[in-house]
Chain A
């Protein structure tokens, strides 16, 4: 049986489009609202990345930082985040969930406890921004034992030698960072260039689902239709901030954006 993440890719492929992955921060702007946002956008997205907010995020740009600080300020705790996921998983149109965060949160929870809790609440995959290969070897093995997809990251600075080793050690999904940037940066590399690197990865590792993230927005997404999957994060976080500032409902506005994103790649 395919795991839920691979199944989501397979279903998107059947429809001849990339899978759409969204990123929102757990607890932004409140526990209740972030759950509502997940429920609303899962009508259009295939896989939901749930950001675990951390207050010293070294790879996140302004938009995601704002969301993370807002969530922390509103009191979000690790156990609340698990609860959000398990509540979401009970909803009728739930989708696979990937946690994205920083290693200290896992380290403090205890790796084994963390994974047990992930399994219990229905988390299907993990992206740990600051736990690169080979440092992640042991943890990634533990994930596999618990049927949780550990998602390796690749970037334009990853050497060919590293690329081969990392893809070899990866599970079903890999994440290509499109450019040298924190999250939310403007796409400063041509789509052609990004796709060339993407194809290089696919050539080395054709069976694994490779998604592209960083700099993907409504404006740029249609350039990447022939890929396995695309991640949109900062634009969504920005929309939450904008909605709150204008006293509008973020749930409605965010789901509008995700619906548009989906249309652009369908």
Chain B
């Protein structure tokens, strides 16, 4: 298994959609073979079509708002001591998170294929919120599947989806979180794939969805590369890119442009959700050595029991609360291009407190996981090391949880 240079990782899968011969693929019911094949043909053509790219860039620029800021966290750098700490503030994007890129691209594809309805899954509610925004923008009807537990804990995003005219369909099966929402969304697609387009909210699912999402979020690293060159005159000699990993869409997008660099120059650090420190449950299949299994159409490292039943996860962060992980990250782990670790709920909360204390930045609970590791490691690095954390979501959606866990001042003062 080897990472090839000069070819985008999303295009390094084999004929059947496997990366490294074993991650990804298309484990789907027969009914979905045709719509998936249609989408593959459409995407393979359009991703090289100048007009389509122009159209995408137009919406990315004028509607999503590119580029998002790349800022130095001066106070935090001073407080931590060691490396320079910077952040790519992807939460600047319209809607407040990176999920808008994938949602926009899926709506553009759906519109071109003449579909009138688009459906999607959501955990933290960002994928759903962004899909509802994009659907409204492009005149598509929208249905969002969301676990009942997530609906309770991510109310601000639920309200936003409804305001955008989307149907939010609560999913009561299983653990009532993202994993069940994705299953239910796929089921709905099985029954309605003739009229309906599906958007998978992360770099997970059947191979084509992994590819489309990765292609869309790569906007983040395209911008960052330009911003780095503007700031430092070149890509710095010691660069470390920290990103939280749930399904893996923001981290993949944050890293993609730097894939071909030597890892000694540009290191990728993925931070998974370790769950409550007192609980055995987690959402960190890469860190804790979960076995390969099939989930939602793709082979990947996934939390499961010896029989192959998918295990329940637990994390304070709804966006990371997923038992599997993108096939792209499984591949990056196995070829050792990226390094993965996990932090607990408590550590993420602590990082949130530190960041908000020193900076005018409000990362949601998902990137707070990445901040936690970056802060710990930055201490040990030299001053010419550039540490960048992707602040891929805004904490507005986490108000309820933060108030409960940390008290009112952490919500009000920010």
Contact = CB atoms under 8 A, between A and B. Distances in A.
A173 to B, nearest CB: 15
A54 B309 contact: yes
Given A59-B190, A135-B16, A154 B30 contact: yes
Given A78-B307, A135-B16, A181-B190, A58 B34 contact: no
Interface of A is mostly: loop
A180 B196 CA distance: 12
Contacts, number: 110
Given A56-B174, A102-B294, A132-B26, A177 B308 contact: no
Given A59-B190, A69-B173, A104-B293, A180 B308 contact: no
Contact of B29 (A55, A59, A77, A105): A59
Contacts of A129: 29
Interface string B5-48: 00000000000100000000111111111110000000000000
A128 to B, nearest CB: 9
A117 to B, nearest CB: 13
A58 B192 contact: no
A153 interface: yes
A132 B294 CA distance: 14
B306 interface: yes
Nearest to A101: B308
A135 B25 contact: yes
Given A103-B27, A180-B31, A59 B187 contact: yes
B220 interface: no
A57 B194 CA distance: 21
A54 B27 contact: no
Contacts of A162: 33-34
Interface residues of B, number: 36
A182 B190 contact: yes
Given A102-B294, A104-B295, A135-B25, A56 B310 contact: yes
B305 to A, nearest CB: 9
A56 B296 contact: yes
Interface residues of A, number: 40
A58 B212 CA distance: 21
B29 A181 contact: no
Interface in B136-154: none
B297 A104 contact: no
Interface in A33-92: 54-61, 65, 69, 72, 77-78
Given A57-B183, A177-B31, 12 more contacts: A55-B310, A56-B183, A58-B28, A58-B187, A59-B190, A65-B173, A105-B308, A129-B29, A130-B294, A157-B30, A182-B190, A182-B191
27 contacts: A56-B180, A56-B183, A56-B295, A58-B190, A59-B187, A59-B190, A60-B187, A65-B173, A69-B173, A69-B174, A78-B307, A104-B293, A104-B310, A109-B308, A130-B29, A132-B26, A132-B28, A132-B30, A135-B27, A153-B30, A154-B30, A157-B32, A158-B30, A158-B34, A177-B30, A177-B31, A180-B190
Interface of B: 16, 25-35, 173-174, 179-180, 183, 186-187, 190-194, 291, 293-297, 304, 306-310
